[in-house]
């Protein structure tokens, strides 16, 4: 069971501030807010006559699909699928290849204040099933801020099916997808997965960030139709969208109970303070194999 897991200690989320502080070295508050070093995201420092600040990029110690740019302040980054392009004005960091080579690799700074998924990693989530090559069904794509980082994470062998029902952000999402062949924009209501079943293949991971009171049902419908057995779900919960009168912790637990009734086995939940107030993320597996008796 992960941090903030269930069972006897259920409800005792260990995410939140504590997690965020710990995660700070992996691209936390400061790093996330200020992003990479230097002007134009080229990895050059402001200087004060000292020359360019040195930035190195290393894989995240537990989730290699994301990286950490190490400078005076660390920031979480993803390797840019479309070098030379930012998606939402985020900073880019270009790193030279080995000596003698002209190759460069570009990364985009992922600000945890602008993404619940990003915040969950910085806050110290134990499970992050999105990997290189994953097929991800993303519900609530909005204009594609986080979708673009998921696209970087899964890389050219992966796919992100991004569902968004609102037309204005949907247009931006669609434009972003024109440059990212691994993003399939779907402008539909996630409550009606039958409408897009012909566009979506079997998925390894479902990420939901629709901020709707019936989100657990939406997750169950989509998981039942598209997630492989033992596939993973990651659900972002905005407490006051579900019940603005109850305590956030009570809302998280009641959402978790709803998920359990629909073949979704939560393994962990984590609150997203200080990045997103009264939000939590639940991670678990759908139609998980029962442990064999010895």
Ligand X SMILES: C[S@@+](CC[C@H](N)C(=O)[O-])C[C@H]1O[C@@H](n2cnc3c(N)ncnc32)[C@H](O)[C@@H]1O
* Binding interface with ligand X (CB under 6 A): 115-116, 140, 142, 145-146, 163-166, 169, 189-191, 209-212
Tokens of residue 62, six digits: 């537990």
CB 283 within 8 A of CB 277: no
Give 69 or 142: the residue with its C-beta nearer to ligand X.
Answer: 142
Picking from 15, 17, 16, the residue whose alpha carbon sits closest to that of residue 3 is 15
Tokens of residue 268, six digits: 């962990």
CA 59 to chain centre: 16
The β-bridge partners of 264 are 286
CB of 211 to ligand X, least distance (A): 4
CB of 49 to ligand X, least distance (A): 39
CB of 278 to ligand X, least distance (A): 13
Give 190 or 239: the residue with its C-beta nearer to ligand X.
Answer: 190
CA dihedral 284, 286, 287, 292 (to 10 degrees): -30
Residue by residue, DSSP assigns 59-78 as: E-SS-TTSEEEESSS-EEEE
CB 15 within 8 A of CB 22: no
CB 65 within 8 A of CB 13: no
CA 242 to chain centre: 21
Enter the DSSP assignment of 235: E
Chain position whose Cβ is nearest to ligand X = 140
CB of 146 to ligand X, least distance (A): 3
CB 274 within 8 A of CB 29: yes
Give 5 or 118: the residue with its C-beta nearer to ligand X.
Answer: 118
CB 140 within 8 A of CB 190: yes
CB of 198 to ligand X, least distance (A): 17
CB of 218 to ligand X, least distance (A): 6
CB of 249 to ligand X, least distance (A): 20
Give 210 or 283: the residue with its C-beta nearer to ligand X.
Answer: 210
Q: Cα 14–236–176 angle (5° rounding)?
A: 130
In 97-170, the DSSP E strands lie at 104-109, 135-139, 159-163
Give 55 or 223: the residue with its C-beta nearer to ligand X.
Answer: 223
Give 75 or 115: the residue with its C-beta nearer to ligand X.
Answer: 115
CB of 225 to ligand X, least distance (A): 14
Give 68 or 119: the residue with its C-beta nearer to ligand X.
Answer: 119
Helix or strand or coil: residue 267? strand
Give 58 or 199: the residue with its C-beta nearer to ligand X.
Answer: 199
């Amino acid at each position: 069971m992960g941090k903030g897991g269930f069972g006897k200690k259920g409800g005792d989320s260990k995410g939140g501030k504590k997690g965020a502080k710990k995660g700070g070295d992996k691209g936390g508050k400061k790093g996330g807010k200020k992003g990479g070093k230097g002007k134009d995201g080229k990895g050059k420092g402001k200087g004060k006559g000292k020359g360019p600040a040195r930035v190195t990029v290393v894989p995240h110690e537990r989730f290699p699909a994301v990286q950490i740019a190490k400078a005076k302040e660390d920031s979480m980054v993803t390797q840019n699928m479309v070098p030379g392009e930012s998606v939402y004005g985020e900073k880019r960091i270009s790193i030279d290849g080995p000596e003698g080579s002209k190759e460069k690799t570009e990364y985009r700074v992922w600000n945890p204040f602008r993404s619940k998924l990003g915040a969950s990693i910085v806050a110290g989530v134990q499970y992050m099933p999105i990997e290189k090559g994953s097929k991800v069904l993303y519900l609530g794509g909005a204009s594609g801020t986080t979708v673009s980082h998921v696209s970087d994470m899964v890389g050219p062998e992966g796919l992100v099916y991004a569902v968004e029902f609102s037309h204005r952000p949907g247009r931006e999402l669609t434009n972003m997808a024109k440059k990212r062949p691994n993003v399939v924009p779907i402008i539909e209501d996630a409550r009606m997965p039958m409408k897009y079943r012909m566009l979506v293949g079997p998925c390894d991971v479902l990420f939901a960030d629709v901020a709707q009171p019936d989100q657990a049902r939406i997750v169950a419908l989509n998981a039942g139709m598209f997630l492989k057995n033992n596939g993973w779900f990651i659900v972002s919960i905005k407490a006051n969208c579900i019940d603005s009168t109850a305590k956030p912790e009570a809302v998280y637990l009641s959402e978790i109970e709803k998920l359990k009734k629909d073949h979704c086995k939560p393994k962990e939940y984590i609150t997203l303070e200080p990045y997103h107030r009264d939000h939590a993320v639940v991670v678990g597996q759908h139609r998980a194999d029962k442990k064999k008796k010895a």
